[in-house]
């Protein structure tokens, strides 16, 4: 008998939130329709029966109506709060429905970038000094002698470059700029600011598929900021316009090898599952440092880092999604649909 797997598909579509009066930056982590279509097709080409569900409110209605699926492919970012990426996984866990990507507790830890840094540091993984600025009082007590600049300030719990711009890089002992940037983050994003020692070296992203000791590196991507880009690295503007202002290069030199090793160690230390991305930046001596992990990485075929680095390494979008599903199904003792191979001839994970 043919192995049939039904996949529920949860996602946050930008169009569903436009009516809330959110800015383009606030909508930044939600998916456009072409991403949803591409992911649905990739799942279908891997032999799955796919049912679009939509966002968490649509999921609640479906569960209340008694619906269920063999597994849910969840890419919901959530609307607000440090627990926003954990909301759908937690709901599915309550109903005993398997889901793809990391569980709720991992989503909370990794969304809180300071907490994630604390965990990896406990495991002996290199990450720069940092402070969490929650209010004006924290700024009054900030000690530039203890943590000299230049510094880098960003929201504690955002992605897609949200809250990052040219002013995010703060000159040594420039308390006025530090206060201005941090207060803006706190007021605009309703969350603390994370202030780190600024790293001047190469910016690297490591794609990972798999779990625990079976997790493997898909590739190491270096982001080269081009003329016309906004200063400050991968800001929201640069991320949104990456085709014009960022050049992505697949790298396999000695630094990339160390970045891959650091990324895998971080992935395992944080308990991330199935697939995602670890972002690193090199210090002045060229050593990769952990910045953050994205356990719910963007999956647009040509606009998101993980599919971009996979494609540069000969792994097409359908094969990438197939490998992600294979890793998730294995955790639940489920099998891929029969007659489907997730390995393209040129793929090597």
pLDDT digits (tens, 9 = 90+) for 28-50: 788 899 999 999 999 999 999 99
Q: How far apart are CA 307 and CA 89, in angstroms?
A: 23
Over residues 106-159, the pLDDT tens digits come to 999 999 999 999 999 999 999 999 999 999 999 998 998 888 779 999 999 988
Cβ distance 335 to 2 under 8 Å? no
Question: Cβ contacts of residue 143 below 8 Å, gap of 6+?
Answer: none
Nearest-10 Cα torsion for 206, 178, 120, 217:
0
Q: What is the pLDDT of residue 344?
A: 38
pLDDT at 307 over 90: yes
pLDDT (0 to 100) of residue 347: 37
SS (H, E, C) 157-173: CCCCCCCCCHHHEECCC
The pLDDT of residue 241 is 67
What is the average per-residue pLDDT within 309-337?
A: 96
The answer, yes or no, to whether residue 232 has pLDDT greater than 80, is no
pLDDT at 2 over 80: no
In CATH, the architecture of 203-331 is: 2-Layer Sandwich (3.30)
Average pLDDT, the chain: 91
pLDDT at residue 346, rounded to an integer? 35
Alpha-carbon dihedral angle through residues 234, 268, 106, 309, given to the nearest 10 degrees: 30
237 — pLDDT class (breaks 50, 70, 90): low
Burial of 281 (0-12, 13-18, 19+ CB in 10 A): buried
pLDDT band at 207 (very low <50, low <70, confident <90, very high): very high
pLDDT level of residue 247 (50, 70, 90 thresholds): confident
- Any idea what the Cα angle at residue 84 is, between residues 82 and 85, rounded to 5°? 110
List 288's β-bridge partners, or say none: 282
- Please report the pLDDT score of residue 10 as a whole number: 98
CA 205 to mean position of chain CA atoms: 10
Q: How confident is the model at residue 348 (pLDDT cuts 50, 70, 90)?
A: very low
* CA–CA dist 242, 229 (Å, integer): 9
Burial of 259 (0-12, 13-18, 19+ CB in 10 A): buried
Nearest residue to 226 via CA among 216, 235, 238, 237? 238
Q: What is the mean pLDDT of residues 155-176?
A: 87
- Collapse the DSSP code of 95 into the 3-class scheme (helix H, G, I; strand E, B; otherwise coil) and give the result: helix
Per-residue H/E/C for 185-237: HHHHHCCCEEEEECCCCCEEEEEEECCHHHCEEEEEEEEEECCCCCCCCCCHH
Tell me how crowded residue 269 is: count the other CB atoms within 10 A of its CB. 18
Residue 203, pLDDT above cutoff 70: yes
Q: How far lies 9's CA from each of 39, 48, 109, in Å?
A: 9, 11, 24
pLDDT score recorded for residue 343:
41
Per CATH, 6-101 and 129-197 having the same topology is answered: no
Least confident of 20-24, 229-233, 274-278: 229-233
pLDDT tops 70 at residue 53 = yes
Least confident among 83-92, 218-227, 292-301: 218-227
| Homologous superfamily assigned to 129-197 | ATP-grasp fold, A domain (3.30.1490.20)
6-101 CATH: 3.40.50.20
Percent of the chain with pLDDT over 90: 75
Please answer whether residues 296 and 62 qualify as being in contact, where contact means their C-beta atoms are separated by less than 8 angstroms.
no
At residue 280, the pLDDT reads 97
Domain boundaries, the chain: 6-101, 129-197, 203-331
């Amino acid at each position: 008998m043919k192995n049939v797997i039904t996949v529920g598909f949860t996602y946050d579509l930008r169009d569903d939130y436009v009516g809330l009066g959110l800015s383009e930056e606030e909508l930044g982590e939600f998916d456009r329709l072409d991403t949803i279509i591409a992911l649905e097709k990739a799942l279908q080409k891997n032999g799955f029966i796919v049912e679009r569900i939509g966002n968490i409110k649509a999921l609640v209605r479906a569960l209340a109506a008694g619906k269920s699926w063999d597994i849910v492919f969840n890419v919901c970012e959530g609307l607000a709060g440090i627990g926003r990426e954990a909301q759908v996984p937690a709901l599915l866990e309550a109903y005993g429905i398997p889901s793809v990507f990391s569980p709720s507790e991992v989503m909370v830890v990794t969304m809180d970038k300071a907490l994630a840094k604390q965990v990896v540091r406990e495991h002996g993984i290199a990450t720069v000094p940092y402070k969490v600025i929650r209010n004006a009082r924290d700024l009054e007590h900030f000690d530039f002698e203890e943590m000299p600049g230049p510094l880098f300030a960003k929201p504690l719990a955002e992605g897609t470059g949200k809250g990052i711009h040219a002013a995010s890089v703060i000159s040594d002992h420039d308390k006025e700029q530090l206060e201005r940037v941090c207060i803006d983050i706190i007021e605009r994003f309703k969350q603390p600011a994370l202030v780190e020692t600024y790293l001047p070296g190469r910016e690297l992203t490591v794609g990972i598929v798999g779990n625990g000791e079976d997790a493997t590196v898909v590739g190491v991507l270096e982001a080269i900021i081009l003329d016309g880009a906004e200063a400050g690295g991968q800001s929201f503007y640069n991320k949104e316009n990456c085709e014009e202002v960022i050049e992505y290069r697949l790298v396999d030199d000695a630094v990339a090898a160390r970045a891959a090793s650091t990324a895998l160690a971080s992935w395992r230390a944080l308990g991330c599952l199935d697939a995602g991305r670890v972002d690193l930046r090199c210090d002045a001596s060229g050593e990769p440092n952990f910045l953050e992990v994205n356990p719910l990485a963007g999956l647009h075929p040509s606009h998101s880092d993980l599919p971009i680095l996979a494609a540069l390494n000969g792994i097409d979008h359908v094969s990438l999604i197939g490998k992600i599903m294979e890793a998730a199904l294995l955790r639940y003792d489920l099998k891929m649909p029969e007659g489907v191979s997730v390995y393209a001839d040129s793929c090597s994970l």
